[in-house]
Structure 1
Amino acid sequence: MAKVDGDRTTATRRPPGPTGLPVIGNTHQYARDPLDFFVETAREHGPVAYYELGGEGFYQLSDPKHVERVLVHNNGGYVKGERFQEALGPVVGNGLLTSEGAFWRAQRRAIQPAFHPEQLTRYAEVMTDYAERTLRSWEDGEARDVHADMMQLTVEIAAKALFDVDVRDVEAEIGDALEAVMDHVERTVRRPIDVPTWIPTPGHRRYRRALSDLDAVADRIIDERRDRDAGDRSDVVSLLRDADAGVESSREQIRDEVVTLLLAGHETTALTLTYALHLLSRNPEAAAALRAELDDVLGGGGAGSASGPGGRPPTADDLSALPYVEKTVKETMRAHPPVYELLREAAEDDEIGGYRIPAGSTVAFQQWVVHRDPDTYDDPETFRPERWTDEFERSLPRFAYFPFGGGPRRCIGDRFASMEARLVLATILREWTLDPVDPGLSFSPSITLRPDGPVEMVPYRR
């Protein structure tokens, strides 16, 4: 229902949504399968829906134009919000993921040069060299957890490319700490019961140790860069220390940005690579098309090829000649988006789709839902890289595909992540094929769309 106030129409209705229970709302439905819950809510109740989880109300948006309104047209009317701060604030402090307003803009300007195109080209060799080093530990026919491999690889690449620091000797420590942090975040996002972190549960003790370990790693990175001041100063730590952005980058603030970029700079790319390898293993025609492109461009063709198995490593200059690799990455991020949901808090009253969004309420929009809209994507449950033609992309509504978010707060490392995913995927598949140990794949959604356990695959040398 809307009421007329002079020449202005003001929405007053609450959107429709699934029927809940007293106190717990829709928590029991959500807990069974969060991803299915989101999809069913959108399909049954429309592009603006309402549900309650753990005593908190959420306004779900599943129309691209509504997503665009929040992220672009009225982005000043929305902030990351209290729930996001509660989950990640203790981990990343006042880094780019959590900061707001003028401070956030100054920090982003300071860091942006690290992601300029000329810098990305410099990172390409690090990405392929580190990928090849990882592959040297693989044994033909020996099953391994490729998700663990990709997590290790991408954190090493992030540290070297963005901070010019080699963290191989403490990679296991970093990996364990980041895993503990994400486990904690998973438990706190939409939690039906809030267990204070001061209660010494095993999970809370592990979480506090993880925060301490990440602080130690950040201190090491900052100190190493300080001791090399005479060298290249295009790394993130140097950019922040040298910034003339109207903001003082204290050691604590630099620590926050280091942890932010280690966390955000590796997790989503590792997930993209894990899911791409798994999806290709289940779709042999797509895998064959990708291998044929790699052989044509890189000169491979298997062990009997004159150029040797796999040909030469890919470079940044090769990426324009590898369109199927790019399509594979895009389709992976459509089908299994590493960032599967975004949350925003309304800083002021808003109206979306004829419904009032009160100030202080949380809006949620899921890439998992929008990327599966059958009105936009033909046969959306099918993995089909070849759908990504230029014509198809031009036909997409804005924000029908938004794996990196959008608007002013679009992921600062989107081009970095895209290049890394393509180069690493090409480096792996020019030399190896992989078979899944288990063709199924289940998820454990938290801040990112993580696999529910190891992703075991068996590599075979081509």
Structure 2
Amino acid sequence: MAERDGRDRPPGPPGAPVLGNTHQYANDPLKFFVETAREYGPVARYELGGETFYQLNDPAHIERVLVHDNEAYAKGERFQAALGPVLGEGLLTSEGEFWREQRRAIQPAFHPEQLARYAEVMTAYAERTVDDWRAGEPRDVHADMMGLTVEIAAKTLFDVDIRDEEAAVGESLEAVMDRVERTVRRPVEIPSWLPTPGNRRYDRALSTLDGIAERIVDARRGSARVGRRGDGERVDDARDDAAREDVVSRLLDDERNVPRERIRDEVVTLLLAGHETTALTLTYALHLLSRHPEAAATLRGELDEVLGGRPPTVADLDALPYAEKVVKETMRIHPPVYELLREPIEDVAIGGYRIPAGSTVSFQQWVVHRDPRFYDDPEAFRPERWTEAFERSLPRFAYFPFGGGPRRCVGDRFASLEARLVLATILREWELDASADALAFSPSITLRPAGPVEMTPRRR
């Protein structure tokens, strides 16, 4: 542990007996985080339902936890309680050497050459989605983006088209995230064994996701065993290299004989993590652009000049810098992952304060991304702020939408590519008018909208 300066207890908001700060937090978590940071400085302490939290509000402290001292922290019991029952020992929840082995096995699916192969699917599926739109008919754009991104994840990562099952998958993922939200937001949860409507819905969701994962594994195992020779005769183990590129096939080909249960965990993890954050980014980008017509006009002008009416390709992205700025600014002002949690496995010291082992350390993208020390007019949506000079001026963890350190999101480049391509595909043909000026949020593991995001599409 680093040397201490004798200050054992960080400052923090006063709370009630037993419940601590639970009431303030439950009323509006995002407001609570911001007010705590602004009032109590780089390290703050508060209580939620008898559990002590240490909120870090300085990029240097966040970098220390995620990068320099990362081996002194685990994701912790609170995170595991929320997602462990759903994801098992998938990449998002596993720890230690087991996690490192998983990361090495999955990483090749996100290499640049693989991402280039995914681009065509991303564009084609986006076009397929907007083909269902009718000018003047309102849409729940969040639902559309959730459906689109889960279809893209299934096709690119598992080589499976799940459009016929997308509604069931989407409903199941929604039920899972509802449970996660309750686990994160409420100190006391209804026991999972009680046959309440919510528990039954959750159990059905897990059963559906397990069934989808089983079918994906069976489909990829079948393609592993059966192929054709050049003369057309069927033979075993004759898949070409291209057919081996999806995640499940890689795990099936793993010489360590990865257990089926672990493959299931990775499938569900990547379906969940591989679609929700990008769907939120796209939803929020479309809504923000509808409320900021000058930014939308700038982006449309760039798309018209570069694309000339045709669908975008991965080769176009370098010529679409404003599209990238829109995505960056969206993830700054409405970060899909708005908070990260860590649990020290030993006593540590941060900012001169002792943080006991087993407590929860939290830091919020929502707070740091809106800090006026780093962002001029931080509440404003201004994509043009993202110049090279501006990015160089930022402290390293003043912007961290994908986390950082060894556990930085494995799919960060995948998500960035998908967001830009889908946004370009939609906006080259459509404009959208939002029904509401501002969005309300329902924070759980991700920053979800508190209800449908209704927008009306118009042909350009």
Q: Fold match, TM over 0.5?
A: yes
Residue 276 of structure 1 aligns with an amino acid whose one-letter code is A
Residue 273 of structure 2 aligns with an amino acid whose one-letter code is A
Pick from 221, 225, 237 the counterpart of residue 248 of structure 2. 237
**Structure 2 residue 333 is matched with structure 1 residue 324:** no
Per-residue CA distance 1:219-250 (angstroms, 9 max, x = gap): 01101111111241010001112224xx5410
Aligned partners of 2:428 and 2:454: how far apart in 1? 20
Aligned residues: 444
Per-residue CA distance 1:315-342 (angstroms, 9 max, x = gap): 0000000000000000000000000000
Structure 1 residue 190, shift from structure 2 partner: 3.9
On the 8 A contact 1:87/1:185 being kept in 2, the answer is yes
Give 2:266's aligned residue: 257
Give 2:217's aligned residue: 222
Pick from 418, 421, 425 the counterpart of residue 419 of structure 2. 421
Residue 396 of structure 1 aligns with an amino acid whose one-letter code is L
Per-residue CA distance 1:382-409 (angstroms, 9 max, x = gap): 0000000000001110110000000000
Give the secondary-structure state (helix, strand or coil) at the position aligned to 2:223: coil
Residue 78 of structure 1 aligns with an amino acid whose one-letter code is Y
**Structure 2 residue 267 is matched with structure 1 residue 269:** no
**Structure 2 residue 378 is matched with structure 1 residue 375:** no
Give the secondary-structure state (helix, strand or coil) at the position aligned to 2:274: helix
Aligned partners of 2:211 and 2:92: how far apart in 1? 20
Give 1:89's aligned residue: 84
Structure 1 residue 139, shift from structure 2 partner: 0.2
Aligned partners of 2:6 and 2:53: how far apart in 1? 17
Residue 364 of structure 1 aligns with an amino acid whose one-letter code is S
Aligned partners of 2:178 and 2:248: how far apart in 1? 27
Pick from 168, 172, 177 the counterpart of residue 177 of structure 1. 172
On the 8 A contact 1:349/1:358 being kept in 2, the answer is yes
Specify whether residues 44 and 386 from structure 1 end up closer, same or farther in structure 2 by C-alpha distance, changes over 3 A only: same
Give 1:46's aligned residue: 41
On the 8 A contact 2:185/2:444 being kept in 1, the answer is no
On the 8 A contact 1:272/1:421 being kept in 2, the answer is yes
Give the secondary-structure state (helix, strand or coil) at the position aligned to 2:211: helix
Structure 1 residue 32, shift from structure 2 partner: 1.3
Aligned partners of 1:109 and 1:193: how far apart in 2? 37
Give the secondary-structure state (helix, strand or coil) at the position aligned to 1:228: helix
Pick from 436, 439, 443 the counterpart of residue 437 of structure 2. 439
Give the secondary-structure state (helix, strand or coil) at the position aligned to 2:349: strand
Aligned partners of 1:323 and 1:228: how far apart in 2? 40
Specify whether residues 100 and 116 from structure 1 end up closer, same or farther in structure 2 by C-alpha distance, changes over 3 A only: same
Per-residue CA distance 1:153-201 (angstroms, 9 max, x = gap): 0000000000000101111110000000000000001422222111111
Aligned partners of 1:235 and 1:460: how far apart in 2? 37
On the 8 A contact 1:95/1:256 being kept in 2, the answer is yes
Give 1:306's aligned residue: none
On the 8 A contact 1:24/1:192 being kept in 2, the answer is no
RMSD, matched Cα: 1.2
On the 8 A contact 1:58/1:361 being kept in 2, the answer is yes
Structure 1 residue 10, shift from structure 2 partner: 5.4
Give 1:104's aligned residue: 99
Residue 63 of structure 2 aligns with an amino acid whose one-letter code is E
Q: Which moved more, 1:229-238 or 1:423-432?
A: 229-238
Aligned partners of 1:253 and 1:8: how far apart in 2? 41
Give the secondary-structure state (helix, strand or coil) at the position aligned to 1:199: coil
Aligned partners of 1:8 and 1:76: how far apart in 2? 18
Aligned partners of 1:436 and 1:180: how far apart in 2? 26
Pick from 196, 202, 221 the counterpart of residue 201 of structure 1. 196
Structure 1 residue 13, shift from structure 2 partner: 1.5
On the 8 A contact 1:61/1:67 being kept in 2, the answer is yes
Specify whether residues 436 and 105 from structure 1 end up closer, same or farther in structure 2 by C-alpha distance, changes over 3 A only: same
Structure-to-structure mapping, 1:372-411, within 5 angstroms: 372-411=370-409
Residue 240 of structure 1 aligns with an amino acid whose one-letter code is L
Per-residue CA distance 1:398-447 (angstroms, 9 max, x = gap): 11000000000000000000000000000000000000011121000000
Structure 1 residue 9, shift from structure 2 partner: 3.9
Give the secondary-structure state (helix, strand or coil) at the position aligned to 1:140: coil
Give 1:297's aligned residue: 306
**Structure 2 residue 288 is matched with structure 1 residue 288:** no
On the 8 A contact 2:122/2:422 being kept in 1, the answer is yes
Per-residue CA distance 1:38-94 (angstroms, 9 max, x = gap): 000000011100011111110000100000010000000000111111110110000
Per-residue CA distance 1:276-301 (angstroms, 9 max, x = gap): 000000001100000000000001xx
Specify whether residues 172 and 157 from structure 1 end up closer, same or farther in structure 2 by C-alpha distance, changes over 3 A only: same
Aligned partners of 1:165 and 1:396: how far apart in 2? 41
Give the secondary-structure state (helix, strand or coil) at the position aligned to 1:403: coil
Pick from 359, 374, 398 the counterpart of residue 357 of structure 2. 359
Pick from 146, 157, 162 the counterpart of residue 152 of structure 2. 157
Aligned partners of 1:333 and 1:45: how far apart in 2? 25
Residue 198 of structure 1 aligns with an amino acid whose one-letter code is W
Aligned partners of 2:146 and 2:289: how far apart in 1? 19
Specify whether residues 338 and 8 from structure 1 end up closer, same or farther in structure 2 by C-alpha distance, changes over 3 A only: closer
Give 1:307's aligned residue: none
Pick from 437, 456, 459 the counterpart of residue 457 of structure 2. 459
TM-score of the pair, normalised by structure 1: 0.95
Identity %: 76
Residue 418 of structure 2 aligns with an amino acid whose one-letter code is E
Structure 1 residue 211, shift from structure 2 partner: 0.5
Residue 295 of structure 2 aligns with an amino acid whose one-letter code is A
Residue 338 of structure 2 aligns with an amino acid whose one-letter code is Y
Structure 1 unaligned blocks of 5 or more: 300-310
Structure 2 unaligned blocks of 5 or more: 225-238
Structure 1 residue 12, shift from structure 2 partner: 4.6
